[in-house]
């Protein structure tokens, strides 16, 4: 008998498994897919390699912390590349801005597009850093069971004011930037947690400081190399990893967990069950007797996305590793998503990792990963790829005549692959001033059940689910 069973081998589950195994637990991870890593997944075709999940790594320190506990380091396991010019942003008709791994160079680039905005940017970064400093030692420091758990970690009421939680990110963007294009730039950070800048709190303004000060990172060979390293470290420290093993129920007795049941009819007994699956899947399918489902639904899903992969011949002038072509009307785009429909004009994100790493595409070719945000649950047909490539050609590079193949992943595909409700890619959203307190907590409703990953505290994204793993491991170790 293991003392911990982890349901799902996503990054949050694997990171928690490593931490717990390193602190004298016996851990088994049950994953329904043949591969581990969950949304941190890749796809290859005809010499082109794509990330089909995360393409941007921020705050790698939290991953390094786990690796160090396991007697190694992130640097020893993968070749990390800190991108010198991580982002290029394009606005319809007018303007391009390059973001550098140097705030002063970024400010100069912004001044070139819009005189005076360089200073606004540097001033904004000072504000952003303050929010980050407070958030790191409060929100990210431990479990969240309500506003009191946050307040208890604050040093003074000033901290509460500093985190800028009482206005939306969009409202804050109007205060910080006079150029509407930079308001859109700041607003985009809400999408890092699958949320809307018009609904999420301005606390999310802390993300630009994280990127500017701690870097935007790539892993040589693609982010799949990071997944492989996490899996290798987990195996090395002795975590038992079982792929192709779908959990169909959490077994409980007298109000506490006794293990899990699998689709193959096996039972894995354990004192602790750690669910790394979507909280809606957990409470709807694996523990239907719990009354938490209603509460989870209230938290609201993050957006989903449509991913279009293009293997393109030739090279594109003027692009960076990460690129964003903004829509003309951001408010309209998010209003349409809120109504559950496909926005008429979308902001298009493109990662072309071949810009940094020539191993990711054949010679003189590029691997285009295009992502647009759409509401969770949206259904789209294959025609969407033409619409997106036409749209991109109007605003940016024309890939239509250069494509060797085009493939698409829709919200339905994400739902089927990862069992995430409606194909939500970041778990629960940050929409609403109380979103942080509505997100499912890390402690389940029966003794011995814990939650880790994007749909529980502190939310989605690689650094967040790794933080979730730390929080939950500490809860288990001190229970």
Q: Which two tokens stand for residue 248?
A: 């169909």
* Angle subtended at Cα 211 by Cα 415 and Cα 14, rounded to the nearest 5 degrees: 45
Give buried/exposed letters for 163-201 (b at 16+ CB in 10 A, else e).
Answer: bbbeebbbebbeebbebebbbbbbbbbbbbbbbbbbbbb
- By rule CB under 6 A, what string of x and - marks binding of each residue 332-371 to ligand FAD? ---------------------------------------x
Q: 89 vs 242, 343, 355, CA distance in Å?
A: 42, 20, 16
State yes or no: residue 226 binds ligand FAD (CB under 6 A): no
Q: With binding defined as CB under 6 A, does residue 199 bind ligand FAD?
A: no
**Backbone φ and ψ of 36, nearest 5°:** -95, 165
Residue with tokens 């899947």: 281
| CA–CA separation, 112 and 20 (whole Å) | 50
CB of 112: closest distance to ligand FAD in angstroms?
Answer: 27
The neighbour count for residue 312, using CB atoms within 10 Å, is: 24
Q: Is 426 near ligand FAD (CB under 6 A)? A: yes
The yes or no reply on residue 305 touching ligand FAD (CB under 6 A) is yes
Q: Is 211 in the site for ligand FAD (CB under 6 A)?
A: no
Residues 465, 439: Cα–Cα separation, whole Å:
13
**Total chain residues near ligand FAD (CB under 6 A):** 38
Q: Residue 4, interface with ligand FAD (CB under 6 A)?
A: no
Helix 180-187 to helix 117-137 angle (10° resolution) is 20
- Residues in region 405-424 near ligand FAD by CB under 6 A: 414, 418-420
Does 27 interact with ligand FAD (rule: CB under 6 A)?
Answer: no
With contacts defined by CB under 6 A, name the span among 95-103, 177-185, 334-342, 458-466 that binds ligand FAD.
Answer: 458-466
Q: Which of 232, 188, 226, 237 is nearest to 53 (CA)?
A: 226
| For ligand FAD, the closer CB: 52 or 312 | 52
**Interface stretch with ligand FAD, choices 27-35, 330-338, 399-407, 432-440 (CB under 6 A):** 27-35
Least Å from the CB of residue 332 to ligand FAD: 23
Write the DSSP symbol of residue 355.
Answer: G
As measured in angstroms, the least distance from the Cβ of 282 to ligand FAD is 8
Contact 268, 2 (CB under 8 A): yes
Residue 98's beta-bridge partner residues? 88
Q: Contact between 439 and ligand FAD (CB under 6 A)?
A: no
| Residue 281 makes contact with ligand FAD by CB under 6 A | yes
38 binds ligand FAD (CB under 6 A): yes
* Minimum distance, C-beta of residue 12 to ligand FAD, in the bound complex (Å): 3
CA distances (Å), origin 297, targets 292, 302, 429, 430, 449: 9, 11, 11, 13, 19
Q: Are 274 and 286 in contact (CB under 8 A)?
A: no
Out of 425, 451, 471, 472, which residue is the one contacting ligand FAD (CB under 6 A)?
A: 425
List 48, 453, 471, 476, residue binding ligand FAD (CB under 6 A): 453
Among 4, 5, 8, 107, binds ligand FAD (CB under 6 A): 8
Q: Which residue among 5, 18, 28, 39 contacts ligand FAD (CB under 6 A)? A: 39
Q: CA 375 to CA 306: how far, in whole Å?
A: 10
Q: Which residues on adjacent β-strands are paired with residue 371?
A: 307, 349
Judged by CB under 6 A, does residue 280 bind ligand FAD? no
Q: CA end-to-end span of the chain, whole Å?
A: 20
**CB-facing half-sphere around the CA of 76: CA atoms within 13 A:** 11
| Stretch in the footprint of ligand FAD (CB under 6 A) among 52-60, 139-147, 386-394, 439-447 | 52-60
Residue with the two structure tokens 């991109």: 392
Residue nearest to ligand FAD as judged by C-beta position: 10
Give the chain's radius of gyration (CA, Å).
22
Q: How far is the CB of 214 from ligand FAD (least distance, A)?
A: 13
Residue range at the interface with ligand FAD (CB under 6 A); choices 4-12, 99-107, 149-157, 264-272: 4-12
Q: Please tell me whether residue 62 binds ligand FAD under the rule CB under 6 A.
A: no
Region from 26-34, 71-79, 181-189, 292-300 binding ligand FAD, contact rule CB under 6 A: 26-34
Cβ proximity to ligand FAD: between 114 and 200 the closer is 200
CA–CA distance, 166 with 201 (Å, rounded to integer): 7
215 binds ligand FAD (CB under 6 A): no
Residues that bind ligand FAD (CB under 6 A): 7-13, 30-33, 38-40, 53-56, 246-247, 276-277, 281, 305, 307, 371, 414, 418-420, 425-426, 453-454, 460-462, 465
């Amino acid at each position: 008998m293991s003392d911990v069973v982890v349901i799902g081998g996503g990054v949050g589950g694997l990171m928690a498994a490593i931490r717990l195994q390193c602190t004298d637990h016996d851990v088994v991870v049950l994953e329904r897919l043949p591969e581990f890593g969950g949304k941190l997944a890749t796809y290859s075709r005809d010499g082109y390699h794509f990330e089909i999940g995360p393409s941007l790594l921020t705050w790698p320190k939290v991953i390094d912390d786990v690796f160090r506990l396991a007697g190694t380091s992130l640097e020893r396991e993968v070749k990390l590349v800190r991108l010198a010019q991580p982002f290029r942003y394009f606005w319809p008709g007018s303007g391009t801005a390059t973001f550098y791994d140097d705030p002063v160079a970024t400010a100069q680039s912004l001044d070139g597009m819009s005189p005076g905005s360089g200073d606004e940017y540097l001033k904004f970064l000072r504000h952003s850093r303050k929010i980050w400093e407070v958030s790191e030692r409060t929100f990210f420091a431990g479990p969240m069971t309500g506003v009191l758990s946050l307040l208890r970690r604050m040093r003074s009421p000033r901290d509460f004011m500093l985190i800028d939680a009482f206005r939306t990110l969009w409202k804050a963007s109007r205060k910080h930037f006079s150029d509407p294009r930079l308001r859109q730039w700041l607003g985009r950070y809400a999408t890092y947690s699958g949320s809307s800048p018009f609904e999420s709190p301005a606390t999310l303004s802390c993300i630009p400081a994280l990127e500017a000060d701690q870097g935007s990172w790539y892993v040589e060979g693609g982010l799949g190399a990071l997944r492989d390293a996490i899996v290798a470290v987990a195996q090395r420290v002795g975590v038992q990893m079982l792929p192709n093993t779908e959990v169909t129920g959490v077994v409980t007795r007298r109000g506490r967990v006794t293990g899990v049941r699998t689709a193959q009819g096996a039972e894995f007994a354990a004192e602790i069950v750690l669910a790394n699956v979507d909280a809606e899947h957990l409470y709807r399918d694996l523990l239907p007797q719990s009354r938490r489902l209603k509460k989870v639904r209230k938290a609201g899903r993050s957006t989903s996305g449509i991913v279009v992969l293009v293997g393109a011949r030739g090279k594109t002038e003027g692009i960076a590793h990460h690129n964003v072509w903004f829509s003309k009307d951001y408010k309209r785009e998010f209003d349409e998503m809120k109504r559950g429909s496909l926005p008429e004009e979308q902001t298009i994100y493109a990662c072309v990792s071949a810009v940094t790493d020539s191993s990711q595409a054949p010679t003189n070719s590029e691997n285009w990963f295009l992502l647009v945000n759409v509401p969770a649950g949206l259904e789209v047909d294959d025609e969407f790829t033409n619409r997106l490539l036409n749209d991109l050609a109007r605003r940016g590079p024309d890939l239509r005549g250069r494509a060797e193949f085009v493939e698409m992943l829709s919200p339905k595909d994400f739902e089927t692959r990862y069992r995430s409700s409606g194909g939500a890619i970041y778990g629960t959203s940050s929409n609403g001033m109380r979103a942080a307190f509505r997100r499912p907590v890390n402690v389940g409703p029966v003794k011995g059940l814990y939650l880790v990953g994007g749909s529980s505290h502190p939310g989605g994204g690689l650094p967040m689910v790794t933080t979730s793993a730390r929080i939950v491991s500490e809860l288990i170790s001190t229970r």
